[in-house]
Each structure stands twice: as C-alpha cells, then as structure tokens.
C-alpha cells in the first residue's frame, strides 16, 4: 500500500476513534443518567466517571497530536486498559460474554489506528 493511502486510512480510523472517546468522555464528565446507571450497574462509585472522562478527553487529544510521541504511546496504552477493564467489568457484573466482548470492537479499531500510526512513522523515516 502506498504511504499516502496508509496516512489517509490512519487519519480516518484515528479521528473516528478519537471522536468516540471524546463523546464518551464528555458524557461521563457531564454525569449523564446513562453514564451514572452504567457505573452503578458495574458497582463503581459515580465519581469514577469524572476521572475516566477527563482521561478519555486528554487521551483523544494525545493520539491526535504528533509532537509528543511518548505521550501518544501512553494514551494508546490507557485506552487499552480502559477498554479491557470495561469488558471485564461487564463480565463480572453479570452482563454475559457477548456484552463483555463489545468493547473489544473499539479496541480493534484502536489497534488499527496504532499500527497504522507506526507504519506512517516508519514511511516518514525512510522518506
């Protein structure tokens, strides 16, 4: 695949993932009824929404920037922990395996973004 096409696909996937995380983070910070219900169902205190919401917004901004590569790596790592933790929490709350696997779709999109980012970086170093 040509470098330009890889870069375009990277940006499309990354922007979609970042928008999802921004939307999710904002709804958690705003303490929407749905966000509160989810936290209560999972057995977490409501204030955890604020912590996770702020982390998601900062993480989304971190994966959209190119200057601080280590920060970007940490953001991808944080999203990995968040999404795996969400799936595990759903499973242990009794939601069943299919519901628990639903965050893995977002994890897959995130990994596509991550691997395309690395590929774009690699092509820029060799160019």
φ/ψ bin of 94: left (φ > 0), alpha (ψ from -120 to 50), beta (otherwise): left
Helix (H, G, I), strand (E, B) or coil at 30: coil
The string of DSSP codes covering 57-92 is HHHHHHHH-SS-HHHHHHHHHHHHHHHHHHHHHHHH
Q: What is the dihedral of CA 59, 65, 66, 69, to 10 degrees?
A: -20
Tens of each residue's pLDDT in the chain, 127 residues: 898 999 999 999 999 999 999 999 999 999 999 999 999 999 999 999 999 999 999 999 999 999 999 999 999 999 999 999 999 999 999 999 999 999 999 999 999 999 999 999 998 887 6
Report d(CA 6, CA 105) in Å as an integer: 21
What are the two backbone dihedrals, phi and then psi, of residue 45, each rounded to the nearest 5 degrees? Answer: -65, 150
In the block, which residue shows the tokens 């092509």?
123
Domain ranges of the chain: 3-119
Whether the predicted model's global pTM rises above the 0.85 cut = yes
Q: What is the dihedral of CA 9, 14, 16, 22, to 10 degrees?
A: -170
Task: Report whether 78 contacts 57 (CB < 8 A).
Answer: no
Neighbours of 66 (CB within 10 A): 11
């Amino acid at each position: 695949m040509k470098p330009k096409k890889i870069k375009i696909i990277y940006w499309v996937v990354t922007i979609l993932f970042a928008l999802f995380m921004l939307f999710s983070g904002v709804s958690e910070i705003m303490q929407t009824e749905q966000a509160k219900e989810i936290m209560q169902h999972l057995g977490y205190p409501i204030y955890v929404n604020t912590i996770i919401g702020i982390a998601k917004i900062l993480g989304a901004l971190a994966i959209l920037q190119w200057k601080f590569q280590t920060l970007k790596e940490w953001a991808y790592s944080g999203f990995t922990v968040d999404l795996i933790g969400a799936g595990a929490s759903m499973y242990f709350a009794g939601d069943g395996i299919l519901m628990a696997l639903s965050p893995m779709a977002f994890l897959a999109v995130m990994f596509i973004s991550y691997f395309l980012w690395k590929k774009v970086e690699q092509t820029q170093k060799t160019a």
